[in-house]
Amino acid sequence: MKVFAFCLVFVTGVMLVMTAQDFPAWGDAHSAPNQYLSTYYIQHTYRDTAVPNIVTAVLADYRGFDTMFETSVIFCAGLGIAAILSFGPRNPKRRKRLGLPPSAEGDLIIQTTTRLLIPVTQLFALYVIAHGHHSPGGGFQGGVILAASFILLSLAYDLNMALSRLSDRLALLWGNGGLLIYAGIGLICVALGAHFLEYSALHAILPATDSVMARSHAMLGVEIGVGFTVMSMLFSIYTQLVSLGSLEDGL
């Protein structure tokens, strides 16, 4: 079986390498993937949306429908993990089963450092979300950093400490809320007579904006929604997996 698998993989690998000649060379600015659509994005994004960060603009505006469903995939994954692990026979003697020693007291130095580190981490995450239009960043990245701050809390103290700050129920609620913010902005556009997620229509209700700035502002709202969902769902996935669904004690 192993020899067969190796032969199969080797032949596939050789065939894939043979196609490498037909792919664009490293750094070729005029290759096919760097033409057409990406050229349009680079030239028109700032004029269309007043957002300098092309990645954020394409993510939240031009490909907004795709991103909405990517976010819902994350939400569904979090729901699915909770559904798979939480129901059925619980495993309270997990620690004994895995042969782990009883949960140890946290280390003083680590806990003190964490107390100082977490507010800075969360502030940085909010900056990454809010400033994602002008610098590298956005909802996904900021949400991951926020989730990391909660995971750090649960590593330095214990799972119950982190869950007392962001409980499992609340995490699901926030994830749901983030997705609702995203879809809600799209539905407001529909209510204003435009297409779903056509942000330029929002200038009718946002004060002191034109149709270009409206897209920039709507993108911020969408990114905040994405940030909520990513933060709460990644933290929920971590807590579910690390306690095997019991949410009693983690690592």
Rank residues 70 and 106 by Cβ distance to other proteins and give the closer one: 70
> Per CB under 8 A, does 98 bind other proteins?
no
**Does 46 sit near other proteins (CB under 8 A)?**
yes
Q: Which stretch binds other proteins (CB under 8 A): 17-25, 156-164, 181-189, 203-211?
A: 17-25
Binding-site member from 27, 99, 102, 193 for other proteins (CB under 8 A): 27
Among 65, 96, 123, 135, binds other proteins (CB under 8 A): 135
Contact between 171 and 236 under an 8 Å Cβ cutoff? The reply is: yes
Our CB check for other proteins shows the closer of 35 and 112 to be 35
Tell me if 200 sits within 8 A of 251, measured CB to CB: no
99 touches other proteins by CB under 8 A = no
Cα–Cα distance, 222 to 182 (Å, whole number): 5
Burial of 163 (0-12, 13-18, 19+ CB in 10 A): buried
Q: How far apart are CA 143 and CA 46, in angstroms?
A: 25
Give the range of 23-31, 155-163, 165-173, 178-186 binding other proteins by CB under 8 A.
23-31
Q: Which of 179, 197, 233, 247 binds other proteins (CB under 8 A)?
A: 233
- 81 by DSSP, 3-state: which? helix
Is residue 67 involved in binding other proteins (CB under 8 A)? yes
CA–CA dist 158, 162 (Å, integer): 7
Q: In terms of DSSP H, where are the helices of 166-210?
A: 168-191
Does residue 92 bind other proteins (CB under 8 A)? no
Among 124, 244, 246, 249, binds other proteins (CB under 8 A): 244
* Separation of alpha carbons 184 and 196, rounded Å: 10
Note whether 49 and 57 are within 8 A (CB).
yes
Binding to other proteins by CB under 8 A, coded x per residue (else -) over 185-204, reads --------------------
Q: Which stretch binds other proteins (CB under 8 A): 64-72, 122-130, 176-184, 197-205?
A: 64-72
Assigned token pair, 155: 């590593």
> Interface with other proteins includes 144 (CB under 8 A)?
yes
Centroid of chain to Cα 54: 18
Q: What angle do CA 198, 131, 208 make, to 5 degrees?
A: 50
Q: In angstroms, rounded to a whole number, what is the distance separating the alpha carbons of residues 133 and 175?
A: 22
* Residue numbers at the binding site for other proteins (CB under 8 A): 1-2, 5-6, 8-10, 12-13, 16-17, 20-21, 23-29, 31, 33-34, 37-39, 41-43, 45-46, 52-55, 58-59, 63, 66-67, 70, 73-74, 77-78, 80-81, 84-85, 88-89, 91, 134-136, 138, 140-141, 143-144, 230, 233-234, 237, 240-241, 244-245
